[in-house]
């Protein structure tokens, strides 16, 4: 309620019409990562189901589409992979390295230079 009020107040002072925005998640895209091919091309995806190959690869994410891009990564019920807390190489700022397996989920937002962790659910 406060955010909506502040947004409308800002729009009033800037003489712009209030905007209505909706958050939606695109259809799920399935991806397999390996040690040889650990990079996930994010593109305009917002929901990825990722599975490893038995070697526990360390995932590298490409840049987000724009600031505020939300990305949900769901671990497929296959083999594990690791999300690494490493902005320089992996473009991820996490609360430590995260081994994804079972039906675990990781929610990230693109800051313009890195993927920042919003939440993580360890479901195994």
**HSE-CB of 34 using CA atoms within 13 angstroms:** 3
Tell me, yes or no, if the pTM score tops 0.85: no
Q: Give pLDDT, residue 23.
A: 55
- How much is the pLDDT for 16? 55
Structure tokens at 114: 């890195």
- Read off the pLDDT of residues 24-77 as tens digits, 9 standing for 90 and up: 667 889 999 999 999 999 999 999 999 999 999 999 999 999 999 999 999 998
Give me the domains of the chain, ranges plus CATH numbers.
25-121 (2.60.120)
Nearest CA to 38 out of 96, 104, 86, 77 is that of: 86
């Amino acid at each position: 309620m406060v955010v909506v009020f502040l947004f409308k107040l800002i729009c009033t002072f800037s003489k712009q019409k209030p905007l209505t925005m909706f958050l939606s998640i695109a259809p799920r895209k399935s991806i397999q990562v390996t040690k040889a091919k650990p990079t996930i091309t994010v593109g305009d995806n917002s929901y990825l189901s990722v599975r490893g190959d038995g070697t526990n690869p360390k995932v590298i994410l490409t840049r987000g589409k724009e600031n505020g891009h939300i990305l949900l990564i769901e671990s497929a019920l296959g083999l594990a992979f690791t999300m690494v807390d490493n902005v320089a190489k992996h473009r991820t700022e996490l609360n430590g390295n995260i081994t994804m397996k079972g039906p675990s989920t990781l929610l990230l937002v693109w800051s313009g230079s890195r993927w920042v962790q919003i939440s993580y659910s360890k479901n195994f």
